[in-house]
Amino acid sequence: MSGESCLPQELRTRVPTYEDVRRRVLETFPKSVVVPRGIRRQGRERARVFKYLVKSERVFQVIAAEVGRVARLPKTDSMHPFYAELVRAALGDEYDAVIERARRCVKIVSRLWREYRAKILSCYTGSEAKRVATEFVGRALSAVRRSLRGAERIVEALRELRKLPCIDPSAPTVIVAGMPQVGKSTLVSALSSAKPEVAPYPFTTKTIIAGHIDMGSVRVQIIDTPGILDRPLEEMNPIERRAVAALRSLNAVTLFLMDPSPDSYYSFDRQVRTLESVASLVGRDRVVVVFNKVDKVSSDRIEECRRIVESRGFSIEAEVSALYGYNLEKLVQILRSRLGI
């Protein structure tokens, strides 16, 4: 894990706000203009008209370039569903709405420039050209202000997304789920070929832990999401449900880890209810149920818990001890089979 963002390149671009564009315009307009000798020969006033024509064209180019950055952002329907759900979690429909407004803005400002270019060229004096050029700048900035409403939120959302550990949505992935204290982080650390990377999950106060498992020639992502896939759906807020939707869009199987110990932090019945909830979210066919901490549980207790899980339509596919490395090789082979590698 390098820590480098795996966001698509188009989502790593700098996104300007209205204030960014306004500042650049106000810096650009006063800059001096070199008037060609041929224009100067036409007289002082003609030279001044030329200066304001160039100043206005520079402003147009700045606006077209800056607003164009927003207009070229991918809409959510063209993103991988993983990133689309993360963006919707933060911004809802506003992200696509800002992009659409930016695209319209580029057309509006282009039309304004054609209109005002002709007006400036028809001016007879420098003062008249200055007035027309200033009017163009004002109208163009007004269009930008309307179009980039909400751009600040996009900037913040993309900043949060860049904090996400490097996750490749197309790579084989194991998502580790289960109630707190069942040993998920220990399992991720035990299976990962490198020290897992821990970072905030975008737009939540939760964290995400990501590592890799080398399965032969294939590198598999293993992801733990503390605070997200560890409780029933009805206890999740809307942003956390979006986070689950994003995880569900990965090419993944979900390893649901359970602690059958009599003294488990959460009762076994509560763990079973959470298993059913997670299975309803990600799909039963994508869930691998595993008992952990079997090194300290009697065989009778394991069989009792197994019967409870099987009565709910699930099967226990492995019994492991993440702490002591027991049966982890068998678990890896099960995951390889479920991932088809």
Which domain range does residue 62 map to? 9-161
**Does 127 reside within a domain?**
yes
18, 155: one domain: yes
Cβ pair 294, 320 in contact under 8 A = yes
91, 201: one domain: no
157, 203: one domain: no
**Does 329 reside within a domain?**
yes
Cβ pair 25, 63 in contact under 8 A = yes
Structure tokens at 303: 């069989």
pLDDT score, position 27:
97
Cβ pair 221, 194 in contact under 8 A = no
84, 142: one domain: yes
Angstrom distance (rounded) from CA 166 to CA 175: 14
pLDDT score, position 260:
95
Cβ pair 244, 224 in contact under 8 A = no
> Which of 147-151, 185-189, 258-262 shows the lowest per-residue confidence on average (mean pLDDT)?
185-189
pLDDT tens-digit series, residues 161-171: 777 777 788 88
Structure tokens at 170: 């197309």
Task: Work out the pLDDT band at 3, boundaries 50, 70, 90.
Answer: very low
Domain boundary among 161, 194, 223: 161
**Does 3 reside within a domain?**
no
Q: Could you tell me the pTM of the whole model? A: 0.76
Q: Domain holding 315: CATH number?
A: 3.40.50.300
Q: Which residue has the tokens 């040993």?
A: 183
Give me the chain's average pLDDT, please. 88
pLDDT score, position 247:
78
> Would you give the distance in Å from CA 141 to the centre of its chain?
29
Q: Domain holding 118: CATH number?
A: 1.20.120.1190
Cβ pair 112, 147 in contact under 8 A = no
pLDDT score, position 211:
84
Segment of 3-17, 227-241, 316-330 carrying the highest mean pLDDT: 316-330
330, 217: one domain: yes
| Mean pLDDT score, 146-174 | 86
| Mean pLDDT score, 304-313 | 96
Angstrom distance (rounded) from CA 162 to CA 102: 23
pLDDT score, position 50:
97
Angstrom distance (rounded) from CA 223 to CA 217: 19
Question: Both ends of the chain: CA-CA distance in Å?
Answer: 21
Q: Which residue has the tokens 């070229």?
A: 72
Task: Work out the pLDDT band at 205, boundaries 50, 70, 90.
Answer: low
Domain boundary among 120, 141, 161: 161
pLDDT score, position 212:
86
Domain boundary among 161, 190, 205: 161
Phi, psi values for residue 222, rounded to 5°: -125, 125
**Does 1 reside within a domain?**
no
- φ/ψ region of 3 (left if φ > 0, alpha if ψ in -120 to 50, else beta) reads left
- Residue 9: helix, strand or coil by DSSP? helix
Is the pLDDT higher at 208 or at 78?
78
**Does 4 reside within a domain?**
no
Residues 6+ apart with CB under 8 A from 5: 12, 161, 162, 164, 166
Is the pLDDT score of 230 beyond 80? no
140, 261: one domain: no
pLDDT score, position 1:
40
Number of domains in the chain: 2
pLDDT score, position 341:
84
Angstrom distance (rounded) from CA 21 to CA 147: 12
Give me the helices (H) in the chain, please.
18-28, 37-40, 44-71, 81-91, 94-121, 126-147, 151-161, 184-191, 238-248, 268-282, 299-311, 328-339
| Mean pLDDT score, 116-125 | 97
| Neighbour tally for 294: CB within 10 Å | 21
Task: Work out the pLDDT band at 92, boundaries 50, 70, 90.
Answer: confident
